[in-house]
Amino acid sequence: MERYLATLDHEQLLVRRGTRSGVFCVVAVHSTARGPALGGCRMWTYEDSRAAVRDALRLSRAMTFKSAVAGLPLGGGKGVIMLRGELSARARKDALRDFGDTVDALDGAYVTAEDVGTSARDMETIADQTKRVSGLSRKRGGSGDPSPYTALGVVTAIEVSCERVFGTPSLKGRSIAVVGLGHVGARIAKSLAKAGATLLVSDIDPGKKALADDLGAKWVTPEKALTAPVDVYAPCALGGILDHDSVPRLQCGVVAGAANNQLADDGIADLLNARSILWSPDFVANAGGIINIAVELDKGGYDPARAKRRVRGIGDTLKGIYDDAEGMGATPLTAAMERARRNLEQAGATMGRADAPEPVPVERY
């Protein structure tokens, strides 16, 4: 806790006990330099209230960098509803309404969205209390499920990375291991199969094997996928997969996937570089979800075709980052963080010592 407070550089932190539910609702607004602070609402059980506040502070800061590197007119924020055990359906609704009041009290500085523990339906409950909600269903004028856009961005990142390493963005005949066949990974695997890639796929849920059969992909264990001799390894499950143990065992030229927080620590980016494995920074490759949401803020409202075009822009962003990294003799992680910092400075944010690279952008949107 102490270490974190040393890097406290947020604009606002609001902690309120809900009048209906009695649960604590936390909203951290890290930066509004580039626009309203957007970030999901996490409903989670924490060890104690300090852990919940710390999570909101850490994740809101990560959102600032994620949006800045994507060039979005958004700042970074995050919400937390701190659970204390199971809630009845009614108490859950009360907690969501209380959170809605907390969001509304910030008067537009923060806009919420779906995150771990909350759904698009929960956003509708929150929307009863505040209009500062994104990610509502298409029926309600929102941008709906972000997963297809996240998947599109990741496939674009894989193409750009392949072009850099193998000389062509074409995925025909490329061998690719996709680990995690959830909302995003399954879509990525389908697109890659359509593009003619040779697929290895994996998930801890054996129910996902049917998709492997449908796609004509080889079904392997996550461990086998990690060490398989493939062109691309695409982590699409949980974070922390790249560490001092796994990176020396990789046999791929590119790592590009949807999972947040892929590096166990920032030093892993150097390890990947030393092994000549091109790593597409996760918070660049998986920004399709938030880019899609940002389209909701356009004057004309949400438009899926515009969203697709912007998500494909991840390709140019990533090319620029790879160019910068080569020019600086640095890792893509360092180049991406530099780009985020530049974009923030252009927007007038004063970035202090606390903005030295730290475990970076993370979260779902």
258-263 — which CB contacts under 8 Å span 24+ positions? Answer: 258/150, 258/151, 258/154, 258/180, 258/184, 258/185, 258/188, 258/234, 258/282, 258/285, 258/286, 259/180, 259/235, 259/286, 260/286, 260/361, 260/362, 260/363, 260/364, 261/359, 261/362, 262/235, 263/333, 263/359
Does 77 appear as a known binding residue?
no
Residue 53 in tokens: 């506040």
Question: Of the two residues 23 and 340, which places its CB atom closer to ligand NAD in the complex?
Answer: 340
> Restricting to residues 215-234, which ones interact with ligand NAD according to CB under 6 A?
222
Question: Which of 32, 118, 125, 150 lies at the binding interface for ligand NAD (CB under 6 A)?
Answer: 150
66 binds ligand NAD (CB under 6 A): no
| Helix (H/G/I), strand (E/B), else coil: 146 | coil
Q: Catalytic: 78?
A: yes
According to the binding rule CB under 6 A, does residue 202 interact with ligand NAD?
A: yes
Chain-centroid distance of CA 349 in Å reads 22
DSSP secondary-structure letter at 35? S
Nearer to ligand NAD, 28 or 236 (CB): 236
**Could you say whether residue 364 binds ligand NAD (CB under 6 A)?**
yes
Torsion angle defined by CA atoms of residues 178, 181, 182 and 183, in that order, rounded to the nearest 10 degrees: 70
> Does 76 show up as a binding residue in the annotation?
no
Strand order in the sheet with 37-45: 12-17, 24-31, 75-83, 37-45, 110-114
Which of 179, 199, 230, 325 is in the footprint of ligand NAD by CB under 6 A? 179
User: In angstroms, what is the minimal distance from the CB of 115 to ligand NAD?
Assistant: 9
Q: Which of residues 67-126 bind ligand NAD (CB under 6 A)?
A: none
d(CA 233, CA 19): 48
Q: Is 344 annotated as a binding residue?
A: no
Q: Which member of 36, 77, 144, 146 binds ligand NAD (CB under 6 A)?
A: 146
Among residues 177, 228, 259, 336, which is the contact residue for ligand NAD, using CB under 6 A? Answer: 259
Q: Is position 180 an interface residue for ligand NAD (rule: CB under 6 A)? A: yes
Among 91, 165, 238, 351, binds ligand NAD (CB under 6 A): 238
Torsion angle (degrees, nearest 10) of CA 186, 148, 121, 208: 0
H helices of 106-203, where?
120-126, 147-166, 183-194
Question: Applying CB under 6 A, which part among 13-21, 82-90, 161-169, 196-204 lies near ligand NAD?
Answer: 196-204
Asked if 264 is part of the footprint of ligand NAD (rule: CB under 6 A), the reply reads: no
From 66, 78, 190, 308, the catalytic residue: 78
Which residues bind to ligand NAD, rule: CB under 6 A?
Answer: 146-147, 150, 179-185, 202-205, 208, 222, 236-239, 258-260, 286, 289, 364
Q: Which residues are catalytic?
A: 78
